[in-house]
């Protein structure tokens, strides 16, 4: 089966979060299962562009309202990702470093979708499945079936995956002309509550809709920033498929980003060595349990409760534990951490920014990973933590509920119900008590490292879903 994934992010070419990890792994595992999967994404002017060479395999035009953009399809040379990566270079819109957060993101990603559709038209034969990811590609299921120019794709099944329902990309009807011409009879398919909404359009028009965990699918039919009613209407074609992780990249035995590699048998030695190095780097005490947080400093991730958690648990300073944060995001949360760092030096430290290598070391060197998320569609951090023998402390929500079971229920993590200082510090107290029993720590570390969260299962579930559409 030939599958084309269309996405704004794909590891290692451009990553802002979990979408990149999924788009960089799912096609690889689909290919390993004997299919032909490729990825189409924008070409950003970032580090990946500066460190690779590319060949131009196609040039064309994409028209957005009155402006015609030239685009080029580039492929990286001499790189084996396990799938073909097609990168659409659109000078004027994507020749910038960041993936998102520009004032013209609407124009950028609609033009990207038009360019992707124009290029797909140049293929000798359409792919069997077009798989679109998140709102940045949400118009494609509509365009490929209802826009005059793309009618040849009318019978090609499209799948739309919601990685994060909070970002919907809606904009005013006054910019309807951004979309290529279609019969006005279909305009309801791009609209939701008076706005043009690419997330809603993807949900309405794709043949199947998936989310990245069954738990999140259930939650968004009750609450999805205004789209919950639509989800309930379309429930019949929606499924939750839990993400996997790329166990080749995320493997503590071979991970080149770690100073010390380790496996199940020498997990304690390996983790202790990396923890010591991390504690040296951040001025923390390696004899105390290390609790870490990695991620966007946003309310969605519950990062706003962490400053108070640091404050409460470090009272009676020096506290009983170390806390280390890696992330960037809302300024007031960042500022909170910088102040606390001064106040509780030796107990708390943070790295404000994005650092892939440091993230790997933290997953490996920490004893516990904090994830107090308010919303977590799947969450990959807890899966990486498990793979590296780190015990997750999670709020019971979305994919966290699906993947972490509390010790009290015979599981391997610490779970709490609310995103509050009280719930997080209570879960941390339980973890600190557990930490006092080294043999139990070792046996849980070994157990969690052996849990299979590889993509094999999820990749097969997607293939079954595609087959149901043929």
Shortest spacing between CB 151 and ligand ADP, in angstroms: 35
With b meaning 16 or more CB within 10 Å and e meaning fewer, what string describes 63-73? ebeeeebebbb
- Between residues 25 and 62, which has the closer beta carbon with respect to ligand ADP? 25
**CA separation, residue 51 to residues 13, 43, 267, 355 (Å):** 10, 13, 34, 17
| Tokens, residue 163 | 């990685």
For residues 131, 135, 137, 139, the Cα torsion angle rounded to the nearest 10 degrees is 100
The three-state (H, E, C) secondary structure of 325-392, written as one string: EEECECHHHHHHHHHHHHHCCCCEEEEECCCHHHHHHHHHHCCEEEECCCCCCCCCHHHHHHHCCCEE
Residue whose C-beta lies closest to ligand ADP: 18
Output the six-digit token pair for 225: 């920033």
Count other C-beta atoms under 10 Å from residue 216's C-beta.
Answer: 28
Q: How far is the CB of 13 from ligand ADP (least distance, A)?
A: 14
- For residues 114 and 298, which CB has a smaller minimum distance to ligand ADP in the complex? 298
Nearer to ligand ADP, 277 or 442 (CB): 277
User: Shortest Cβ distance from residue 39 to ligand ADP (Å)?
Assistant: 17
Q: Which one, 269 or 356, has the nearer CB to ligand ADP?
A: 356
Nearer to ligand ADP (CB atom), residue 224 or residue 378: 378
How far is Cα 290 from Cα 305, in angstroms, rounded to an integer?
Answer: 18
Q: How far is the CB of 174 from ligand ADP (least distance, A)?
A: 31
In whole angstroms, how close is the CB of 305 to ligand ADP at the nearest point?
17
Phi, psi of 210 (to 5 degrees): -125, 155
Closest to ligand ADP by CB, 209 vs 362, is 362
Shortest distance (Å) from residue 219 CB to ligand ADP:
14
Task: Single out the residue of 222, 202, 260, 239 nearest to residue 375, CA to CA.
Answer: 222
Comparing CB distances to ligand ADP, the nearer of 87 and 326 is 326
Distances (CA, A) of 350 to 271, 286, 302, 368, 422: 20, 16, 16, 16, 22
What residues line the site for ligand ADP (CB under 6 A)?
Answer: 17-19, 21, 164, 294-296, 326-328, 354-356, 359, 378-381
How far apart, in Å, are the Cα atoms of 331 and each of 258, 297, 303, 327, 351? 30, 9, 12, 11, 14
- In angstroms, give the least distance from the CB of 29 to ligand ADP: 17
* Residue whose CB is less far from ligand ADP, 294 or 428: 294
- Tokens of residue 161, six digits: 């995956």
Tell the smallest beta-carbon distance from residue 326 to ligand ADP (Å). Answer: 5
Q: Is beta strand 36-42 parallel, antiparallel or unpaired with respect to 54-64?
A: unpaired
| Torsion of Cα atoms, 285 then 289 then 295 then 301, to 10° | -130
**β-bridge pairing 129-133 and 54-64:** unpaired
CA distance 400 to 397: 5
Residue 161 or 381 with smaller CB distance to ligand ADP? 381
**Range 116-148 burial, b when 16+ CB lie within 10 A, else e:** bbbbbeeeeebbbbbbbbbbbbbbbbbbbbbbe
**In the bound complex, what is the minimum distance in angstroms from residue 45's beta carbon to ligand ADP?**
20
CB of 91 to ligand ADP, least distance (A): 28
Residue with Cβ nearer ligand ADP (145 or 210): 210
Distance CA 153, CA 149 (A): 10
């Amino acid at each position: 089966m030939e599958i084309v994934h269309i996405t704004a992010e794909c590891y290692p070419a451009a990553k802002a979060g979990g979408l990149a990890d999924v788009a960089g792994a799912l096609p690889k595992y689909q290919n390993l299962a004997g299919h032909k999967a490729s990825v189409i994404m924008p070409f950003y002017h970032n580090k990946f562009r500066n460190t690779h060479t590319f060949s131009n395999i196609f040039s064309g035009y994409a028209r957005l309202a009155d402006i015609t953009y030239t685009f080029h399809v580039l492929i990286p040379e001499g790189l084996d990702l396990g799938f073909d990566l097609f990168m659409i270079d659109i000078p004027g819109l994507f020749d910038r470093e960041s993936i998102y957060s520009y004032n013209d993101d609407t124009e950028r990603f609609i033009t990207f979708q038009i360019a992707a559709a124009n290029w797909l038209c140049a293929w000798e034969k359409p792919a069997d499945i077009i798989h679109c990811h998140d709102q940045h590609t949400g118009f494609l299921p509509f365009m490929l079936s209802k826009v005059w120019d793309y009618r040849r794709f009318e019978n090609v099944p499209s799948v739309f995956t919601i990685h994060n329902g909070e970002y919907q990309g809606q904009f005013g009807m006054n910019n309807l002309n951004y979309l290529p011409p279609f019969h006005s009879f279909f305009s309801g398919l791009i609209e939701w509550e008076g706005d043009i909404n690419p997330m809603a359009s993807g949900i309405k028009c794709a043949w199947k809709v998936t989310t990245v965990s069954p738990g999140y699918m259930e939650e968004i039919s009750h609450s999805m920033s205004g789209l919950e009613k639509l989800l309930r209407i379309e429930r019949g074609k929606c499924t939750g498929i839990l993400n996997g992780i790329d166990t080749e990249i995320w493997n503590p035995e071979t991970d080149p980003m770690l100073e010390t590699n380790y496996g199940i048998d020498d997990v304690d030695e390996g983790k202790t060595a990396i923890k010591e190095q991390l504690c040296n780097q951040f001025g923390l005490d390696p004899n105390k349990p290390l609790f870490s947080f990695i991620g966007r400093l946003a309310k969605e991730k519950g990062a706003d409760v962490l400053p108070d958690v640091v404050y409460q648990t470090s009272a009676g300073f020096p506290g009983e534990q170390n806390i280390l944060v890696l992330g960037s995001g809302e300024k007031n949360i960042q500022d909170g951490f910088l102040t606390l760092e001064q106040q509780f030096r030796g107990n708390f430290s943070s790295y404000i920014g994005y650092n892939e290598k440091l993230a790997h070391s933290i997953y490996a060197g920490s004893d516990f990973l904090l994830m107090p998320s308010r919303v977590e569609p799947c969450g990959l951090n807890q899966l990486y933590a498990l793979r590296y023998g780190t015990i997750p402390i999670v709020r019971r929500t979305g994919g966290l509920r699906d993947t972490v079971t509390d010790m009290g229920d015979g599981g391997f993590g610490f779970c709490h119900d609310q995103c509050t200082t009280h719930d997080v510090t209570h879960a941390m107290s339980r973890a600190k008590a557990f930490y006092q029993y080294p043999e139990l720590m070792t046996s849980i570390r070994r157990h969690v490292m052996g849990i299979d969260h590889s993509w094999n299962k999820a990749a097969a579930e997607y293939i079954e879903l595609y087959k149901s559409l043929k």
